Amino acid sequence: MRDELLGGEPVRQQRLNRGLVLLAFLVVFLSAPFSSAQEKKALRVLFVSLSWHNQLPVRAAMAKGYFREQGITIEPIFIRGGPAAMAALVSGDVDFASVGGAQAPIRSRARGLDIYIIGSISNHVNYTVLGSKNAKTVEELRGKIIGVTGAGAFSDFAIRVFLKRNNIDPDKDVVLRPIGGTTVRAVALEKGLIAAAPFSSDDAIRLLNRGYPLIVNLNEALRIPQSILVTRGEVLEKYPETTKRFLKALILGIRLVKTNKKEAIQLGYENGLKGEPEIVTQSYDLFNPGYTSDLSIAMDGIQLMLDEDIASGLVDKKMTLDRVISDRILKQAQQELRKEGRLKP
């Protein structure tokens, strides 16, 4: 009766409208903290190598508090080998991974797994090619045996590309022989069983100091990403803010490593990395040129690896880069750092 005296239906409608407005306000107000609560704070990050080159950017970022500044914590996890790393990532045991080369993520994605490349710590091959006492230049490798980790491994692929670019046919002009790990390759080189082989920076320094000749530092000469950042599409969808903060902190870490040798090495030691100071200092000079400045991905280098897998029949010829690379959040991280004045345009 009172509603009728005050105008009936219009008054009830006004009250309903006010209630809807209040409800909408509460939804907006409460959804922000709820959404924030869905973002992860503690991250498990997998590495397939304990080398200084692979570990230093994230260790420096941890020591400087860049991750803490972004409201996240990092637990580094070590698992040897790309396939094992992909399995750990797909299972959800880890949130992000740094793997050697794009082959594992490309092939995983081609099989329908929820794997994406989101950044690159290094856009160059992280190997240094050393020769024997009788092979000191690229040209002197003709007709000789070059040791690689294994057939189809990243080292095999990288050496093939390098030889082709120097007008040497890897299938006719040399013999690429699968040898195995670093120790075996070093012994084979010492005994004259091979004329050359690729080595990581610290192992290369030890051999250089023993008089073995440097043929080429691929950290400068071969633009093919080797230290690749990957994650699941589920992480990108559910935790975009976490992903962005992780990438921002890592960009700051890698920029520190590129520009401040003394502090970077000191931070590495303070955050658990080990090694002989003289070897670490010298190897830094070999691997540092290969680092990216902001985790940007060398698309041309990834395309080379994809083309090789297509030619080998390992992935379907319809496979394209946009199916395996997702750098949208990386670009957001870069843009925010530029606005903050912490990353040069």
Domain count across the chain:
2
In which domain, by residue range, is 308 found?
40-124+224-339
| pLDDT computed for residue 10 by the predictor | 53
Q: Which segments in the chain show pLDDT lower than 70? A: 1-37
pLDDT of amino acid 44: 97
Query: Tokens in use for 60?
Result: 């420096």
CATH number at residue 201: 3.40.190.10
Q: Is residue 9 part of a domain?
A: no
Same domain, 134 and 209: yes
Q: What is the pLDDT of residue 38?
A: 78
Task: Render the burial of 290-322: b for 16+ CB within 10 Å, e for the rest.
Answer: bbbebbbbbeebbebbbebbbeeeebeeebeee
For residue 9, the model assigns a pLDDT of: 47
DSSP 252-316: HHHHHHHH-HHHHHHHHHHTT----HHHHHHHHHHHGGGB-SS----HHHHHHHHHHHHHTTSS-
Give residue 196's pLDDT: 97
The DSSP 8-state label assigned to residue 71 in this structure reads T
Residue 35 in domain: no
pTM score of the predicted model: 0.86
Q: Please check whether residues 234 and 137 belong to one and the same domain.
A: no
With respect to residue 8, please indicate whether it lies within any of the assigned structural domains.
Answer: no
Same domain, 300 and 215: no
Q: Considering 167, 201, 221, which residue would you say is the last residue of a domain?
A: 221
Out of 165, 190, 221, pick the residue that ends a domain. Answer: 221
Q: Give residue-wise pLDDT tens across range 105-127.
A: 999 999 999 999 999 999 999 99
Whether 96 and 230 share a structural domain: yes
Do residue 87 and residue 154 come from a single domain? no
pLDDT at 82: 80
- Per-residue model confidence (pLDDT) at position 31: 42
- What pLDDT shows up at residue 178? 95
The reported pLDDT for the residue numbered 334 is 98
- The answer to whether residue 268 is domain-embedded is yes
